[in-house]
């Protein structure tokens, strides 16, 4: 039974330019890949190689520390530098630069494929850790840690292919083209973790993907469900998708695991399947390259570490000067200052917005107390009161308003007719509370 969640908005989808484009390889492989040691939200990794070392595809280049995930070579060639490079999350970070020899020589010491019926939980965790898999839907949390926390504590596994962000279609195409592999991986995950129910969630307007999954469910006789839901942002957020599928509301300060659910992005499940049954670490991913400024929008299968400019070159370049370049979608994406920043494990899109696509930036006016920000907030917050308390320096009011529960979806700013930057104010308030001080 499908349920619903509170709030949300309906931004224009803008997916028509790529939703029918199959995932394709780059027209030309990158001459260099730049592999940041920071690809996890929980910590860094330390390099295992030095300039001059020869590396092969799938070879571990780092060792995770403080919650970081291992980074593997996505091309074969020679390490030419370990230095600071632009990072798609902002600023710079240490990165391993590999000069591509164009031969894609596979790493010789990759582990052997496992038989699906014999995989145990310990093997699942070990292989996922070795493969360096982190959440590929934007969270970048180490997947082996998430699986370990879920083992024996969940009854529902949710494979998230909702992809509610405008413009992005990489998960849609992956579900359509690789659904058999995704279902196989989901079955093993459910068995090892003790989940009695497996649900693949996608939006109802993705009819070709829905039909592909239904065919494969019948063919495989898989004990999984397909749940199609109405298009509404931010459906893809963890707490909202759990409520939509199960009706369970995740309390403030809790996660989906606390209500017996594990949510994994569809690309993450595909990467786990590759690691288990092919012995492949996470070295490539699907990325949507789109936006009004892009000459030939596409879905691409790219080596992790590929500079963003190479994705644009394989998409015909820019047909006009972009007003804004983002990794991720326009609601929660990260603005990019340099196209030399690389694709990393959680990069699902490169969006180049033309001036005519962006909403007109109107001057901020006075709040008219319309309540739209409150009605659209999926976390039941009152963004207008949080913003007012921050601006009026009444920080003693903030704990009762719970700004730390914000999921940074941006619905409040999107819907505000007064043009108030509510998401920024709520973010600042949450950070202030975390510091435990007042300004």
pLDDT over threshold 50, residue 388: yes
Q: Which of 328, 277, 309 is nearest to 123 (CA)?
A: 277
Average pLDDT over residues 404-414: 94
Reported confidence tier of residue 138, pLDDT bands at 50, 70, 90: confident
The total of other beta-carbon atoms located within 10 Å of residue 13's CB is 18
- What is the per-residue pLDDT across 350-372, written as a single tens digit (0 to 9) for each? 999 999 998 777 789 999 999 99
Q: What is the pLDDT of residue 50?
A: 96
pLDDT over threshold 90, residue 378: yes
pLDDT over threshold 60, residue 127: yes
Beta pairing, strands 349-353 & 156-160: unpaired
Average pLDDT over residues 75-96: 96
pLDDT over threshold 60, residue 290: yes
pLDDT over threshold 80, residue 157: yes
Reported confidence tier of residue 439, pLDDT bands at 50, 70, 90: very low
pLDDT over threshold 80, residue 316: yes
Of all residues in the chain, the percent with pLDDT exceeding 90 is 83
- Alpha-carbon span 280 to 298, nearest angstrom: 25
Q: For the chain, what is the mean pLDDT?
A: 93
213-220 contacts at long range (C-beta below 8 A, 24 or more positions apart): 213/175, 213/179, 213/183, 216/179, 216/180, 216/183, 217/183, 220/180, 220/183, 220/184
Q: In 174-260, at which residue ranges do the beta strands (DSSP E only) sit?
A: 197-203, 225-229
Average pLDDT over residues 49-59: 97
Average pLDDT over residues 415-422: 94
Q: What is the pLDDT of residue 437?
A: 54
Q: What is the pLDDT of residue 222?
A: 67
Q: What is the pLDDT of residue 352?
A: 97
Reported confidence tier of residue 4, pLDDT bands at 50, 70, 90: confident
Average pLDDT over residues 287-291: 98
Q: Which residues contact 437 (CB under 8 A, 6 or more apart)?
A: none
Q: Which of 41, 267, 9 is nearest to 163 (CA)?
A: 267
- What is the per-residue pLDDT across 232-286, written as a single tens digit (0 to 9) for each? 899 889 999 999 999 999 988 899 999 999 999 999 999 999 999 999 999 999 9
- Alpha-carbon span 265 to 115, nearest angstrom: 23
Helix (H) or strand (E) holding 337, with range, is: none
Reported confidence tier of residue 2, pLDDT bands at 50, 70, 90: low
Length of the chain in terms of residues written: 439
- Alpha-carbon span 256 to 242, nearest angstrom: 7
pLDDT over threshold 60, residue 323: yes
pLDDT over threshold 50, residue 203: yes
Q: Which residues contact 228 (CB under 8 A, 6 or more apart)?
A: 201, 202, 203, 204, 210
Of all residues in the chain, the percent with pLDDT exceeding 70 is 98
Q: What is the pLDDT of residue 236?
A: 86
């Amino acid at each position: 039974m499908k349920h619903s969640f509170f709030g949300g908005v309906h931004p224009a989808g803008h997916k028509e330019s790529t939703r029918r484009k199959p995932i394709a390889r780059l027209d030309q492989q990158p001459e260099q890949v730049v592999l940041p040691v920071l690809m996890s939200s929980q910590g860094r990794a330390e390099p295992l190689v030095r300039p001059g070392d020869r590396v092969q595809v799938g070879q571990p280049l780092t060792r995770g520390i403080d919650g970081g995930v291992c980074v593997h070579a996505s091309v074969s060639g020679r390490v030419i530098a370990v230095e600071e490079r632009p990072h798609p999350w902002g600023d710079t970070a240490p990165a391993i630069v590999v000069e591509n020899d164009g031969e894609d020589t596979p790493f010789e010491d990759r582990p052997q494929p496992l038989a699906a019926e014999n995989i145990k939980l310990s093997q699942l965790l070990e292989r996922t850790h070795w493969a360096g898999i982190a959440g590929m839907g934007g969270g970048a949390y180490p997947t082996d840690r998430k699986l370990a926390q879920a083992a024996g504590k969940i009854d529902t596994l949710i494979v998230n292919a909702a992809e509610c962000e405008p413009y992005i279609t990489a998960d849609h195409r992956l579900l359509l083209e690789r659904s058999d592999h995704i279902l196989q991986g989901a079955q093993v995950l459910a068995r090892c973790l003790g989940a009695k129910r497996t649900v693949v969630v996608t939006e109802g307007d993705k009819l070709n993907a829905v039909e592909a999954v239904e065919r494969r469910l019948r063919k495989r006789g898989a004990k999984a469900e397909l749940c199609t839901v109405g298009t509404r942002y931010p459906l893809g957020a963890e707490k909202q998708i759990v409520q939509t599928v199960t009706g369970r509301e995740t309390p403030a300060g809790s996660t989906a695991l606390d209500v017996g659910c594990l949510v994994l992005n569809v690309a993450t499940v595909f990467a786990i399947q590759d690691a288990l049954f092919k012995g492949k670490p996470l070295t490539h991913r699907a990325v949507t390259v789109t936006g009004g400024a892009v000459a030939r929008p596409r879905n691409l299968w790219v080596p992790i570490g590929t500079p963003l400019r190479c994705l644009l070159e394989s998409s015909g370049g820019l047909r006009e000067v972009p007003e804004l370049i983002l990794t991720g979608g326009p609601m929660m994406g990260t603005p990019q200052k340099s196209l030399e920043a690389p694709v990393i494990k959680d990069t699902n899109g490169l969006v180049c917005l033309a001036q005519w696509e962006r909403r007109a930036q109107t001057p901020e006016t006075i709040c008219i107390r319309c309540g739209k920000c409150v009605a659209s907030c999926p976390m039941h917050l009152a963004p207008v009161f949080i913003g007012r308390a921050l601006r009026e320096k009444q920080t003693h009011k903030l704990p009762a308003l719970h700004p730390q529960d914000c999921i940074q979806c941006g619905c409040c700013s999107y819907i505000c007719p007064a043009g108030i930057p509510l998401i920024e104010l709520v973010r600042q308030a949450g950070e202030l509370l975390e510091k435990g001080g007042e300004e």
